[in-house]
Amino acid sequence: MALGSFELPNSTGTHSCPSGTVVVPPLAGGCAMGADEYLKRATAAAAVFSQFTQEQTDRVVRAVYEAAFNKRVGLARLACEETGLGKWQDKVIKNVVASQFVYDDIKNLKTVGIVSDDPVAGIVEIAQPMGPILGIIPVTNPTSTVIFKILIALKTRNPIILSPSPRARRCSSEAARICYEAALAAEAPEHCVQWLTEASLEATQALMSHKSLALILATGGAGLVRSAYSSGTPAIGVGSGNVPVFIEKSADVAFAVEQIMLSKLFDNGTICASEQAVVVERDIAEATAAEFRKQKAYFLSAAEVAAVERIAFDPRRRVMAPDVVGQPATKIAQIAGLDVPADVDLLVAPLKGVGEQWPLSSEILAPILAWYAADDFRAAVNRCIDLNFHGGVGHTVSIFSNDEDRIREFAGLMNAGRIVVNTPSSQGAVGGIYNRLHPSLTLGCGTGGHNITTDNITARHLLNVQRIARRRENQRLGRFDAHLFLDESRDAAAVAAAYHKNS
């Protein structure tokens, strides 16, 4: 299968994590310290980094990209072995996106000195680094997110401190070590990359609130993201991605199902932009279900849905159960006590509603999809809105359709930073593969998801921009009788007419 279609041999099948032991060399730049020492080192690195030219900076970034790319397979295997999540083959591709694709996207970006000069407006823009950054790393993407955050931080001359998930400390530390040693070999400042070797919530929170920290890049669980935003330090965080995919009746059904399977099965569904529910118009529901079955999806009975709910969702914490995250469909079925065919790749759960009464309508990062048949376009859109607001506001929605008017109407009604069209949602939202979105492992969800932006986060978000503003007098104001501002008998229209007269 072609890499251009983001597929690997058997990439939609079940791959077990490697059984051999991956040897990790001694750490070169991570050690257990207090927050003060981490920030002291990072601040010293920032002082040196701020003096780098664009050429020096780009040399470091290229060296890090190449080193990370060259270790993409070993890091993927280590991540799979340590966490027990997903498929190492797909984690290789995540590492490729985080290294090669991100590097190609940012390599020509100007991040040092004057980045814009508009002599007409009299505005000169100067890029400056922000300072030490804390990067929080999720267990679902423990090496790719490390590579991604290091690259965008170093491209903007910002030292970074990484806080890995405790469940992925070894592989995240190894990814950080590889990047750091490559950076040092390219003459980057000492301690430009640091990482917590004994990751804990307490250590991370101490770093979050430290007065010398400039920014938090928070990719992880909802609790950590909330802590980042409440720390008093500027933060760029992400929201959850309860992504609905709408198969509209003009869609090519076989193509839509193929693309959804390609996305949802990628790394066993661990990407937060993976589809969580399929919504189809009733006119094509039977044909769509038949196509899913043809492509090795198993539709659960009502009793089987209840069995999967019990093991896939934690009702007390109202979140997915960790035991099913990133596991193959057959293992999830086994845990639930179900007898399903050995070649099943996806579990499909027909549901009648959205919300706490229907646990599988929530985000489940595993090969489980909720299923809804809607009477018509309007009912389908309303169902997608319900799903969107049930834990996925601002993130991503997907539509398969060949009706441009329907696509635009759907997009206008959804609260999502990314509306991907005729595209596998996981790979489409990440960017750089099926569209020209910036490749990113941190996807903003806007104010709906309690984030500052809906962008795919990249290097440009890690810059402070100074603006030199030259004198350019407002000629309209110079010609205008300013006494009219004091005349209460003149309304807005009258004053505006006088202000813009002869212009």
Residue-wise pLDDT for 127-158, tens only, equals 999 999 999 999 999 999 999 999 999 999 99
Active site (annotated) includes residue 272: yes
Show the tokens assigned to 151.
């690259």
Second-level CATH architecture of 3-238+458-464: 3-Layer(aba) Sandwich (3.40)
Report the CATH fold assignment for 243-436.
Aldehyde Dehydrogenase; Chain A, domain 2 (3.40.309)
Over 50: is that where the pLDDT of 20 sits? no
d(Cα 152, Cα 148) in Å, to the nearest integer?
A: 6
d(Cα 157, Cα 111) in Å, to the nearest integer?
A: 8
Over 50: is that where the pLDDT of 266 sits? yes
Over 80: is that where the pLDDT of 30 sits? no
Alpha carbon 493 to chain centroid distance? 47
Q: What is the mean pLDDT of residues 341-363?
A: 97
Q: What is the mean pLDDT of residues 40-61?
A: 98
CB 80 within 8 A of CB 91: yes
Q: What is the mean pLDDT of residues 314-331?
A: 95
Q: What is the mean pLDDT of the chain?
A: 93
| φ and ψ at residue 416, rounded to 5 degrees | -150, 145
The percentage of residues in the chain with a pLDDT greater than 90, rounded to a whole number, is 88
Confidence of residue 289 (pLDDT cuts 50, 70, 90): very high
CA-atom Rg of the chain in angstroms: 25
d(Cα 341, Cα 327) in Å, to the nearest integer?
A: 16
Strands (E) across 379-459 are located at 394-400, 416-421
Q: What is the pLDDT of residue 223?
A: 79
Question: Model pTM?
Answer: 0.93
Q: Give the strand pairing for 243-247 and 394-400.
A: parallel
Confidence of residue 32 (pLDDT cuts 50, 70, 90): low
Q: What is the mean pLDDT of residues 205-224?
A: 91
Q: What is the mean pLDDT of residues 244-260?
A: 98
Of residues 171, 272, 384, 445, which has the active-site annotation? 272
Confidence of residue 29 (pLDDT cuts 50, 70, 90): low
**Where do the domains of the chain lie?**
3-238+458-464, 243-436, 475-503
Is it true that 3-238+458-464 and 243-436 share their CATH fold? no
146 to 143, 346, 370, 442: CA distances (angstroms): 5, 29, 31, 11
Q: What is the mean pLDDT of residues 109-117?
A: 98
The percentage of residues in the chain with a pLDDT greater than 70, rounded to a whole number, is 93
Amino acid at 19: S
Amino acid at 383: R
Q: Angle, nearest 10°, between helix axes 302-312 and 329-336?
A: 100
